[in-house]
Structure formats: structure tokens, C-alpha cells
Structure 1
Amino acid sequence: MGCGASVPNGKGRKRRSVVQEVAVFIPTIRVPVATDVVQPLRGLVSKELVDRLATLRSNVVALAEDIYHGDMSAVSELQRALEEYLPVVLGLTAKESRLEASVQFSWRTIDDDQECCLASAWYEVLSVVHMMAMLALFEANLKLIPRDGQNGAEKKVSEDSKKDVVDSLLRASGCLDYSVHHILVQIPAQIKKSFPSYLQEVCRDTARIGF
């Protein structure tokens, strides 16, 4: 038994099968929508912190706008912006704090422009970490699909690139694992009910397996 490509032909040779491209499946990518974080937080935290939060989020919004058309450097720049923004927005989730539900954070899906706006800092943290995971998968795709192939020529992926792809996939896995075990459990049920449909499915799956 064997696949068709491994069966010898009449000349005693095996038919060669060439895979032109290998790609990593990327679920729905969500991007942040411009949100006023200054007014809701005015008087609750220092002006310096409000300004820093607003600046960092605005930077993420700007970089995410055209990420689908970006290259490796654009992905890396957005990843760095998210990593810089994440610890700041995490500060709004502190226990016994009025800040967690003080700002309406808005995100939309790129493919269908479905927008979800919720007054929850944990929702913002979940969205940021989810985007970091999706960017890692997007990065893996860029490494697996060299852009120097021309005229149908077979594309080559170096061994170093393949190792980098594994690192990207592990990074995406780590982000999603963190989301399930450390973020979703912090979000109240009434907030989860307002999630977009695909995030609702994630919540149901994690509840069913006991997370």
C-alpha cells in the first residue's frame, strides 16, 4: 500500500511530488479599534500613567492597521509594541481596583469587521495575548513561504528557517495556553456572554474540559 506519488510508473521510476507551498492555518485575526482611555481614567490614576497607556495603545492600533500586508519586520515591530503595552494594561486588572471596568475596549475582526466593545481590562489583556499568538502564526507563515520564488520554481526553506518556525509555533502555543489558564478564568460570565461567536466557542470548550 502507498500513496499515488510513491507507485512506480511504467519506466520503473517513482513519480515525484512537489509541494509548492506549506502554510500554517491562522484563525481569525482581531485588531484593536481606537478607544478613548484618557477620559474614563482621568482622576483615577496619574496623568503620566494615563498618557503612557493611551500612547502605547495608539501605537498598537496604528501598527495593526495594515499587518496583513506587512513583512517580517512589521510583524516584529507590532509584537514589540504589544509586549510593551501588555504590562501597562495588566495594571488595570489589580484586585480591589475600580479600574478593571473603567474603559470600553474595542476590537474588530479583519475578515468581517465584526466589532466587540467591552468595559473590561481582562478582555483587553485577552485580546492582546490572543493577537500575540496570531502574529506568531503569521510569522511562521512568512518564514515558510519565501518570497524569492519566481516562474513556478520550487521554493526552498532553509533549515534555520524551519527551526525558527518551530520557535514561532511554540510561542503561539504558550500565548494560547496562558490565555486559557490565566486570563479566561478571570473574566466574569456576563462579560464572556458578550464575546464574539468564535471566542464564545473557546469559552465553552475550556469549560467542558474543566479549565
Structure 2
Amino acid sequence: MGCIFSSDADDGGPSENSVNPSEVYVYVLGLREPKQIDLTEKLKGTVSPGLSEKMQSLRSKIITLCGRNGSGMKMKPQRKSLDGDSGDLDLEKALNDYLPLLLGLVIGGDKFNSVVEFPWTNVVDEKKDTSMASVYYELLSVLHLLGVLALQEANMCLTPKPRADEYNSKATEGMCFALHPVYAFGRYLSSSLSWHTVSDESKRKSIKILLKAASYFECALKAVLPNTPEDTKAKLPADLTETMFRSLEQQAIGQAVDLQLGFAVVSGKASLAVKRRLACEHVEVWDEAVRKLRAVQLGERVRDKQLLYVKWKLAEAKAAAYYFHSQVLDEGCGKNIHAQSLSCMRASHAYLKESQKARNEFGNMEPLTKVPPLWGTMKYLYRRIPRERSSKRRLLRENYPKEKMPRKTPKLPEFPVALSADPFHLPPFDPAWKMESGFEVRASLTAVLPVYYTLKDQIPPPILDLSRAGPALPPSAVTDMYALVSLASVYEVWWKDVKRD
């Protein structure tokens, strides 16, 4: 799986894929791309020619930029070149430029909402063409594309790249990247993976990009879908349903929490309790992603691949959580505490094996993808979990023979997920719409949130960003008091809301 062949004799140099193999650090679904339509004709008599031509120009630019990425999007994320240029950033800018004009159709009233039928296609399966005469469908499609582009960008940040001075074109002949040591037919390349390291700066950047992706999905969930007419929501393709947006949001946050946990693992300042909390949060996020994705009626080919990926990540998260929970239990002094610790370590070992099996199955499932070598938290745990399991079993037998193994594996502690994305706010509609005849601002895409959610967002998260581990500032008494008062207000309002319902 994942073999790449290139030879200097073939075309005078290495192929692009051999320079930058397509490894999956963040799984990217197939993009949904818009299909060409004549907006100037569709909007004739509804909006002015100048405005319709502007919309046509921007939408055509988006289609062109999607096509520039070519078929590489269909099975694997588009790769940046060695100099860092990519059409994805241009595509993101074009989409953001298109949003203010599109929002004019959304908030301008019924006259504008369903005047155009917008066609889109899923590039993973070209037969999945859908079109709807709803501007809400177009807006959801744009937000979905922005979010998936961000996931794709995060995957590129995490994919190691060789430096220009390290690359040797002759070393690519017969190259084959695999899950274990790298072999080539007729040649063994001992240094082909010497550059498989990712800088901390790239990981920090990836966290920001993943949270940006989550913010696009959250915007669709909180600002667009609640305002979408029910008959339109009933006809939406599976890619744009509430459950799919929620699953994608959780996947983006889960990848970011995984990176945070990786920073905590190698940091001497992070305690076992902090590592366990992050690992347990990791489980919560991926468990939610699995539950939501199971409810999405995607095509079998696309759904199975995506579902296997989130199950793989959930198994990794549980392996880490049970490992750190076992270590924390060892520091306690309760009844049967060492037996419980061993039980957790056994569970960790079982989930480690499950994750390895899912990892291999994911790479071999169509469409074929290249699974990266062990890295981050799992690289740290790959050898430690089996060793700790054997050590704890011996210690329990020799030093604590009276302790009895629990019948069930102890439950993991539950923690609220501290990491959250800054909200993405839709831009104001283009001022040119104010000059249009019959244009009235009738709809609002401002998310209507309960009061206790608004207050909760004002309370600072309990865990610092471990990607920038450093000495924490001493807390201020005034800040602590404000947090306590705010927290009390949150639960008071929430309780009143519950009793009213």
C-alpha cells in the first residue's frame, strides 16, 4: 500500500508525489464543488445587471480555482509545492469575497431566496450532483467548502516536507513508503524517511487552522441551519445536514486536542492529571464524532471510509486515556487501587491493538490512502503501554497479592472539553444590495443562543494552551470572584430554563 515509483530515466526528474507523499494526518473528505450556471440570465429582472455580473464573476472564479486543483482532490488532499504556493488560499479568499454578495440573496426576502437553482457536485463521487433552488443551500455549501479546505490545510501543515538541501533526486528511484521500514524493489533506502519530523510551530499553526475549520462548521450549525426553511432542510444532501456538520466540527476539535495532548506528553511542566484530562477530553470529542457520523446517510463508499477513520481515532484516544488514568490511579491509596490500575492498563493495551487494526484497514480501504508512521502521542505510547502492562502485572502479583481484579474496567472520569473555536461571523452583506429595487432586510442570520451559553463563553477555559507551555500567571482575586459569580449565574439561569421546559 502506498508505493510510489519514480526514476530519473522516466522524465528527467522526480515526480511531485515522490517529493511530497500524500499521508493522512487529518482525513479530508471529498470536496463539494460548484457547477457552472449563468447567474446573469437567472437573475435577469430580479437584480441589476452589474450586481448579477459581479456574482457570476466571483462564482466562476471559485469554479476555476476548484478545477485548478484537478483530480488530486478526488482521492487525496491537494499538495503544496516546495515553495509553499497553493491555489487553496486563493480559493478561500474567493469564497470569502463571494459571501457578502450571496448574503444579499439570503436576507433580501422571499423575492431573492429561491430565484436561482444552484448546482454542486461531490468530487469523490461525480454522480452525486445535487441542485436546489435555495440560497440557503448555496450558503451551506460555501461554509462546508471553507471548512474542508481548512482541514486540508491542516493536513498539509502536519505532513513533513524535505528541505531543499536534503532532497536527492536519485534516492527516489524505486521508493516505496509503507507503515514500517521503507523498502524498494531491488533497493533498500535507509534514509528515505529521515525528514519525517514536524516542527512545533507547524503543530501550533495546525491547531489554529483546525479551530478555524470548526468555526465554519459551527457557523453553519448556529447561524444558517436554524434559519433555513424546514422544507429546504428536508431536501439537503447528507453532506450538509446538521449531524454531518456536527461530526465534522467534533473531528476538527478532536484533531486539535490530540495535538495539545502531544505537547503535554513531551512537556515537563504538564502533570499526569493534566495529561489524563486532555486524554479524556479527546475521548469525549471523538465519541461524539462517531455517534453523529453513524446517523449520516452518506454513500456507502464515502461513509465507511470516514467512519473507520473516526473509529481509529477514538480507539487511539481511549488507549491514551486509560494509560494516563492508570498512572494517576497508581498515585492513590484506595482499596484495590493497584488492581484497578492494572485493569485500566489492560484496557489501554486492548484499545492500542484495536487502533492499529483500524489504522491498517483505513489505509487499505478504497479510496486508498497512505497512513503516516506513528507520531505524536501514539509514538510515545506505542512502546510504553505493553511495557507498563507487563510491569504492573508483575508488581501486583509480587507486592499486592491480596488485591482482586475488578470485574469491569473502571470508568474514565468525565471532563468538559475546554478547547473551543472562536466563532466565525458571517460578513455584512454587500452595500450594493441597498440600491436594488425591492430589497429589504427581512431575515437575520445571527445565532440565537440561550443566555447561559452566552455567559458560559465569557468564562476563561480552565486549561492553558499546552502548545505554548510556560509558567502561568498567578490568578487575580477579582478575576476568580468574577468567574465564580458568572458560573453561579450560568447555572441559575440554566436551572430556571430547565424548570420552565
Q: TM-score, normalised by structure 2?
A: 0.35
Structure 1 residue runs of 5 or longer lacking an equivalent are 1-20
1:65 aligns with 2:79: no
Q: Which residue of 1 aligns with 2:223?
A: 182
Matches of 2:242 and 2:201 in 1, distance apart?
A: 36
List structure 1 segments (4+ residues) > 4 angstroms apart after TM superposition.
203-206
Matches of 1:115 and 1:22 in 2, distance apart?
A: 26
Moved more, 113-122 or 52-61: 113-122
1:129 aligns with 2:131: no
Q: Do 2:105 and 2:112's aligned partners in 1 also have CA atoms closer than 8 Å? A: yes
Q: Which residue of 2 aligns with 1:108?
A: 121
Q: Which residue of 1 aligns with 2:104?
A: 91
What RMSD over aligned residues (CA atoms) do the two structures have, in Å?
Answer: 2.4
Task: Report 1:8-87 matches (<5 A).
Answer: 23-67=25-69, 68=73, 69-71=78-80, 73-87=86-100
Matches of 1:132 and 1:23 in 2, distance apart?
A: 19
Matches of 2:150 and 2:246 in 1, distance apart?
A: 23
Amino acid aligned to 1:158: S
Q: TM-score, normalised by structure 1?
A: 0.80
Computing the radius of gyration over CA atoms, which structure comes out larger, 1 or 2? 2
Q: Which residue of 2 aligns with 1:195?
A: 236
Q: Which residue of 1 aligns with 2:177?
A: none
Q: Which residue of 1 aligns with 2:211?
A: 170
Q: Which residue of 1 aligns with 2:160?
A: 146
For residues 204 and 73 of structure 1, do their structure 2 counterparts lie closer, same or farther at Cα, with a shift above 3 Å needed?
closer
Matches of 1:148 and 1:86 in 2, distance apart?
A: 37
For residues 201 and 86 of structure 1, do their structure 2 counterparts lie closer, same or farther at Cα, with a shift above 3 Å needed?
closer
Secondary structure of the equivalent of 1:193?
A: helix
Secondary structure of the equivalent of 1:107?
A: strand
Q: Which residue of 2 aligns with 1:161?
A: 202
Q: Do 1:24 and 1:140's aligned partners in 2 also have CA atoms closer than 8 Å? A: yes
Structure 2 residue runs of 5 or longer lacking an equivalent are 1-22, 168-191, 248-294, 296-448, 450-501
Amino acid aligned to 2:232: I
- CA drift of 1:162 comes to 1.2
Q: Do 2:79 and 2:156's aligned partners in 1 also have CA atoms closer than 8 Å? A: no
For residues 24 and 204 of structure 1, do their structure 2 counterparts lie closer, same or farther at Cα, with a shift above 3 Å needed?
closer
- CA drift of 1:95 comes to 4.5
Identity of matched residues, %: 31
Amino acid aligned to 1:33: K
Q: Do 1:22 and 1:144's aligned partners in 2 also have CA atoms closer than 8 Å? A: no
User: How many pairs were matched up?
Assistant: 188
Q: Do 2:217 and 2:246's aligned partners in 1 also have CA atoms closer than 8 Å? A: no
For residues 101 and 203 of structure 1, do their structure 2 counterparts lie closer, same or farther at Cα, with a shift above 3 Å needed?
farther
Moved more, 151-160 or 109-118: 151-160
